[in-house]
Amino acid sequence: MEYRAQRLLSVLPSASAGVSQTARTLKAEGHDVIDLGLGEPDFATPGHIIEAAHTAALAGQTRYPPTDGTAALKTAIAAKFQRDNAIDYDPAEIIVSNGAKQVIFNALMATAEPSQKVLLCAPFFDSYENIALVQGLTPVVIPCSPDNGFRLTAELLRDYLTPDVRWLFLNSPSNPGGVVYTRSELESIAAELLGHPQVLILSDEIYEKILFDDSEALSLASVCPGLKDRILTVNGVSKAYAMTGWRIGYGGGPRELIAAMTTVQSQISSGACSIAQAAAVEALNGPQDCVAHFCDVFRRRRDLVVERIAGIDKLHLSAPGGAFYALMGCANLHGAVTPQGEVIRSETDFVQHLLQHYKVAAVPGTAYGAASFFRISTATSDDILTDALDRLAQCVAELG
Ligand SMILES: Cc1ncc(COP(=O)(O)O)c(C=O)c1O
């Protein structure tokens, strides 16, 4: 019996969640596995945020919230957009959802006709592709070359802007490539888009607080105000405040777009958890020193990984400019032979070998449209990361 609808046949479950599930199973069997699959901060949610949730629950904020988000949270988000991103969004131009993922899901569901195209810049967050597929849309992958730091350019984009394109997804800082776009890069991409008014742009800025070196987190809607009525700015509290489990994401965009997304959301989930929304208000309005602290730690780990990988001949890693991933090139390992006599033919072979024999879980790059690469998350303690990098180095050294 085939239970799945036709459009589900090409949809994959989240790659990182799958890897982490395998790692959990191996751990439960007693193996000493290091899971570098899942992209979530290893920090606890700061205490003042948890206290705000507790207070809200005791105060009776336990009923259905407004579908598009509580007034308190939408006001806090509008202030945050103004303060951090120099974008004016009225509360009516804001929606709160169950994670940024649901914002993205709502946006496509509300706006795209079956078989319209969604442009993705590879390497991309794997859910972009699968959220498009689950809705019967056509994801189109723009391969952004590692030689150009995985960056989309206006020239590259030009060839993909056909009349059936409905959305372009941009993500800066990006998962998994760690790409951070500069102002002039965004301006030239925007200039290209001006002549294609049917295209909406989703600017996923969820890693904006995890930014290294001298880069600046720039919001497309503030850099390119001429496009603002076609931009959905996506963000959330998962990554910046170590709140992945609270499931609060939000989007800012044109009023009619937000209203259409709210209609979708009203029939999916009726909105996001009222108590988690109260926590998110505190996250956005409360003390921000935790955010700077998390970023410092992620920077230290990024440096640790870059330094160690530079010492492993056959792997390649350009220093990520933001987010907490390392996307490593392993093309030089193709054709290598494992101590067990198996030939490594792809990054998937390598990742499986690494997990099976060295007990480190990583995600094959194919999930992100990046064959010959694999991703590790650096959101784990320095000690565990060091242990994992030792195992990775040993794994590569023992290949023939
Ligand atoms: C680029 C990107 N956007 C969105 C999300 C989803 O975040 P949320 O936890 O808010 O659903 C993730 C999570 O990994 C991500 O990497």
**Cα–Cα distance, 360 to 228 (Å, whole number):** 43
- For residue 176, cis peptide bond before it (omega within 30 degrees of 0): yes
- Which pLDDT score, from 0 to 100, does residue 20 have? 83
Judge contact between 203 and 227, C-beta under 8 A: no
Q: How far is the CA of 83 from the centre of ligand 1 (A)?
A: 22
Residue nearest to atom 13 of ligand 1 (CA): 39
- Give CA separation, 168 vs 138, 141, 253, in Å: 12, 10, 15
At residue 325 the predicted structure's pLDDT band, cuts being 50, 70 and 90, is very high
Give the relative orientation of helices 289-310 and 382-397 as an angle to the nearest 10 degrees.
20
List CB contacts of 275: < 8 A, sequence separation 6 or more.
53, 56, 57, 61, 62
List CB contacts of 198: < 8 A, sequence separation 6 or more.
163, 165, 166
Q: How far is the CA of 322 from the centre of ligand 1 (A)?
A: 14
pLDDT digits (tens, 9 = 90+) for 247-266: 999 999 999 999 999 999 99
Mean per-residue pLDDT, 348-369: 95
Atom of ligand 1 nearest to the CA of 100: 10
**Cα–Cα distance, 280 to 79 (Å, whole number):** 13
Share of the chain above pLDDT 90, in %: 92
Atom of ligand 1 nearest to the CA of 125: 1
Closest by CA to 120, choosing from 170, 179, 79, 155, is 170
Q: How far is the CA of 312 from the centre of ligand 1 (A)?
A: 30
Closest by CA to 129, choosing from 17, 247, 252, 10, is 10
**Ligand 1 site-directed mutation target among 104, 175, 179, most atoms within 8 Å of CB:** 175
Q: Where in the chain is CATH 3.40.640.10? A: 55-285
Mean per-residue pLDDT, 115-122: 96
Give the relative orientation of helices 255-268 and 99-111 as an angle to the nearest 10 degrees.
110
**Cα–Cα distance, 334 to 372 (Å, whole number):** 8
Q: Which helix (H) or strand (E) holds 236?
A: strand 231-236
Share of the chain above pLDDT 70, in %: 100
Strand order across the 363-364 sheet: 325-329, 373-377, 363-364
**Cα–Cα distance, 236 to 245 (Å, whole number):** 12
Atom of ligand 1 nearest to the CA of 101: 11
Indicate the SS3 state at residue 160: coil
Closest by CA to 172, choosing from 210, 207, 197, 133, is 207
Atom of ligand 1 nearest to the CA of 98: 11
Q: Where in the chain is CATH 3.90.1150.10? A: 6-44+290-397
Give CA 53 to chain center in angstroms.
25
**Cα–Cα distance, 275 to 269 (Å, whole number):** 15
What architecture is the 6-44+290-397 domain classified under in CATH? Alpha-Beta Complex (3.90)
**Ligand 1 site-directed mutation target among 120, 239, 368, most atoms within 8 Å of CB:** 239
Residue nearest to atom 7 of ligand 1 (CA): 100
Give the type of residue at 378.
T
For the record, the structure tokens of 347 come out as 């990054």
Q: How far is the CA of 309 from the centre of ligand 1 (A)?
A: 26
- Which pLDDT score, from 0 to 100, does residue 49 have? 98
Residue 101 has pLDDT above 90, yes or no: yes
pLDDT digits (tens, 9 = 90+) for 79-94: 999 999 999 999 999 9
Mean per-residue pLDDT, 339-348: 95
Q: Which helix (H) or strand (E) holds 292?
A: helix 289-310
pLDDT digits (tens, 9 = 90+) for 199-224: 999 999 999 999 999 888 899 999 99
Output the ligand 1 site: residues, CB below 6 A: 39, 99-101, 125, 171, 175, 204, 206, 236, 238, 244, 249
Topology of the domain covering 55-285: Aspartate Aminotransferase; domain 2 (3.40.640)
Residue 15 has pLDDT above 90, yes or no: no
Atom of ligand 1 nearest to the CA of 103: 11
